[in-house]
């Protein structure tokens, strides 16, 4: 796992698996962690790193209900977990799904000894909406569905940072998972555009943090791909730099869901 101190009050952890990101934000005496890395050894490291850096952890947030973004409680068992209201509804409609997918992953990758994943007592947050942190700071929540049926992007105004979940990835093409849709994905990209223009740094769900201009370039590439996917299906061109065998398999899955 890589650990990047992007700013004094922003640390990004990048998992060795899928380059899944976990973002820690400090807001004075409060702090929160968005999403999670994947392996138990990575999750065990996070509390010590944040304690050494003086980062308090007041709570956890997740961008969406895919299992690889829900593992924060393995690092902070007693922390509250918040999410956008669409994610709360998805978790309620799919009880045990994330736990089953995590067990399947652990069996396939020979991970042993991981404790059960607890997802009880989740706090549903309105999106669009705001989450207050201390007397002066507010986190912005913006809807981000399309990759899945749910999703929330978090804008941190005082740090000029957008944590957008599984969008704008430099390592992964747009992925239409079960419950998602190309039309909703395109609409989310348009909602993200003015948010990206407001910030200096974008943290995607997979891959390293991006400066604004690189994030905007990826957004344009992804919008073109989604448009071609809707119009041309299997003949759509994958974005440059993301034409590996693994990404072509994702493309085939996207075509099957049109």
Phi, psi (degrees; rounded to nearest 5) at 121: 65, 40
- Residue 147 has which token pair? 């990759």
Residues with Cβ within 8 Å of 17's Cβ and at least 6 positions away in sequence, in order, are 37, 38, 39, 68, 109
Between CA 218 and CA 117 the distance in angstroms is 33
Q: What is the pLDDT of residue 133?
A: 81
CB 64 within 8 A of CB 151: yes
Report pTM.
0.95
DSSP string, 48-100: HHHHHTT----EEEESS--GGG-THHHH-TTS-EEEEHHHHHHHHHSTTHHHH
Between CA 210 and CA 82 the distance in angstroms is 25
**Is the pLDDT at 184 greater than 90, yes or no?**
yes
**Is the pLDDT at 147 greater than 90, yes or no?**
yes
User: DSSP label at 159?
Assistant: G
pLDDT > 70 fraction of the chain, expressed in percent and rounded: 100
What are the extents of the domains in the chain? 2-256
Cα dihedral 209→215→218→222 (10° resolution): 100
Count the neighbouring beta carbons within 10 Å of the beta carbon of residue 194: 9
Question: Whats the size of the chain, residue-wise?
Answer: 258
CA dist list (Å): 10 to 55, 78, 84, 92, 151: 9, 22, 21, 31, 22
User: DSSP label at 116?
Assistant: P
Q: What does the pLDDT average to over 67-72?
A: 96
CB 238 within 8 A of CB 246: no
**Is the pLDDT at 71 greater than 80, yes or no?**
yes
Encode 235-247: b = buried (16+ Cβ within 10 Å), e = exposed.
ebebbeebeeeeb
Between CA 125 and CA 131 the distance in angstroms is 8
Q: What is the CATH number of domain 2-256?
A: 3.60.15.10
pLDDT in tens, 216-256: 999 999 999 999 999 999 999 999 999 999 999 999 999 99
- Residue 82 has which token pair? 């918040």
* Environment class of 79 (CB within 10 Å of its CB; exposed 0-12, middle 13-18, buried 19+): middle
pLDDT in tens, 154-173: 999 999 999 999 999 999 99
Please choose, from the candidates 237, 147, 229, 230, the residue with its C-alpha nearest in 3D space to the C-alpha of residue 192: 147
pLDDT in tens, 23-59: 999 998 899 999 999 999 999 999 999 999 999 999 9
Relative to beta strand 10-14, strand 2-7 is antiparallel
Residue 134 — very low, low, confident or very high, per pLDDT cuts 50/70/90? confident
Q: What is the pLDDT of residue 90?
A: 96
Residue 132 — very low, low, confident or very high, per pLDDT cuts 50/70/90? confident
């Amino acid at each position: 796992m890589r650990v990047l101190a992007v700013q004094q009050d922003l640390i990004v952890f990048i998992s060795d698996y899928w380059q899944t990101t976990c973002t820690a934000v400090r807001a004075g005496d409060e702090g929160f962690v968005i999403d999670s890395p994947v392996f138990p050894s990575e999750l065990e490291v996070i509390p010590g790193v944040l304690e050494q850096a003086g980062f308090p952890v007041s709570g956890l947030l997740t961008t969406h209900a895919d299992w690889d973004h829900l593992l924060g409680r393995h690092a902070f068992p007693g922390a509250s977990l918040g999410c956008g209201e669409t994610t709360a509804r998805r978790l309620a409609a799919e009880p045990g799904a994330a736990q089953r997918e995590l067990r399947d992953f652990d069996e396939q990758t020979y991970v042993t000894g991981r404790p059960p994943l607890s997802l009880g007592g989740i706090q549903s947050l309105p999106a669009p909406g705001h989450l207050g942190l201390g007397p002066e700071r507010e986190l912005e929540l913006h809807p981000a569905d399309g990759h899945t049926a749910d999703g929330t992007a978090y804008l941190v105004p005082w740090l000029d940072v957008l944590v957008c979940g599984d969008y704008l990835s430099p390592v992964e093409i747009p992925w239409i998972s079960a419950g998602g849709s190309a039309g909703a994905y395109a609409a989310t990209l348009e909602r993200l555009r003015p948010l990206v223009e407001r910030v200096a740094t974008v943290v995607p769900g997979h891959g390293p943090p991006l400066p604004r201009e690189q994030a905007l370039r990826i957004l344009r590439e992804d919008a073109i791909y989604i448009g071609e996917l809707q119009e041309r299906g299997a003949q759509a061109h994958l974005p440059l730099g993301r034409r590996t065998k693994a990404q072509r398999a994702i493309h085939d899955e996207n075509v099957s869901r049109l």
